[in-house]
Amino acid sequence: MKLATFTHGGVTRIGVVAGDAMVDLAAAAPDLPREMTAFLAAGAPALERARNAAGSTHRIDLKQVKLEAPIAHPPEFLAIGLNYADHIAESRMEQPKFPLFFNKQASCVNGPHDPIHLPRVSTALDYEGELGFVIGRRCRHVPRDRAREVIAGYVVVNDVSVRDWQFKAQTMTLGKSFDTHGPIGPWIVTPDEVGDPHTLELKTWVNGELRQHSNTKHLVFDCYAQVATLSTVFTLTPGMIVSTGTPAGVAFAMKPPRYLVAGDVVKIEIERVGTIENRVIDEPADTAAI
């Protein structure tokens, strides 16, 4: 099942993608929450209700809706660094013996087709195509062999990175958290539809040029190991996003670096999950708060 957040007729709500149509759950199952985090928190009964509603006639052509970030305000947005051997090699780093987690501030979340801002304070803008997973249950101390039970589904993530801010800060959070630098989507695909999340082809293009091509089988710490590690430390909650790392082919590792500029289009595709595509624009003047 593909769970989406969409806007149609000026109203944003959630739905189920069925072929080339969006099943509007606000109409097909009006008793369900209309926001994704609340929907996931409602648990298995809500998922079953949505699955049953997927055959409803309350459908809208996908071309007529705007796909939004599936989770607009995640309770947490975490990512992991240096989690593919080829990316570790191109970064000239040693393979971590323990997962290298960092925060992306939730305010960076962006839609699957919305523009990415080139910050006015940097020209070192980079892309990172990644598989992300979404937590579906409140949980703690989840053993690896039960981790799949707490994952609601999978998304495509662009872990957009401002490299000079990433490298000059004591942690990676600042360079990973600029507004618009967390495109996710195009929807959440449930585990039954994805199957094994560690056999998925991942590709990233910039202006049609293939820059990244790998498979999630090459993750150093896989999705289930990440759940086990994180849940040892703190409680995981519905709607939390974890981005699982990027393979080789990022801009900063090229000689010379080929950073993103305004007008560039980044497209990321993950097998059985979907595709996101975002154009880079100069940071608008109206982002100034004062």
Distance CA 244, CA 257 (A): 23
Q: How confident is the model at residue 51 (pLDDT cuts 50, 70, 90)?
A: very high
**pLDDT category of residue 7 using cuts at 50, 70 and 90:** very high
pLDDT at 170: 86
Is the domain defined by 2-67 classed in CATH 2.30.30.230? yes
User: Checking DSSP bridges between strand 274-282 and strand 116-118, what pairing results, if any?
Assistant: parallel
**Percentage above 70 pLDDT, the chain:** 100
Give the tens place of pLDDT for each residue, 105-133. 999 999 999 999 999 999 999 999 999 99
**What residues contact 180, with CB distance under 8 A and at least 6 apart?**
108, 110, 114, 115, 116, 117, 160
Average pLDDT over residues 89-113: 95
Q: What is the mean pLDDT of the chain?
A: 97
Give the pLDDT band of residue 92 (cuts 50, 70, 90). Answer: confident
- What are the C-alpha distances in Å from 289 to residues 58, 123, 233, 282, 285? 41, 21, 36, 17, 10
Confidence category of residue 143, pLDDT binned at 50, 70, 90 = very high
Tens of pLDDT, residue by residue over 217-249, are 999 999 999 999 999 999 999 999 999 999 999
Cα dihedral 285→267→51→22 (10° resolution): 60
**Lowest-confidence region among 53-62, 86-95, 98-107:** 86-95
Sign of the four-CA dihedral 172, 178, 183, 189 = positive
pLDDT (0 to 100) of residue 288: 79
Whether 77-287 and 2-67 are alike in CATH topology: the answer is no
Q: In this predicted model, what pLDDT tens digit does every residue of 195-215 receive, in sequence order?
A: 999 999 999 999 999 999 999
Residue 121: the pLDDT is 97
| Contact assessment for residue 32 and residue 46, using Cβ atoms and an 8 Å cutoff | yes
Domain-by-domain residue ranges, the chain? 2-67, 77-287
Position 66 confidence tier, pLDDT thresholds 50, 70, 90: very high
pLDDT at 155: 99
The CA distance from 158 to 132, in Å, is 9
Q: CATH assignment of 77-287?
A: 3.90.850.10
pLDDT score, position 123: 97
pLDDT category at 24 given cuts 50, 70, 90 is very high
State yes or no: pLDDT of 8 exceeds 80: yes
pLDDT category at 17 given cuts 50, 70, 90 is very high
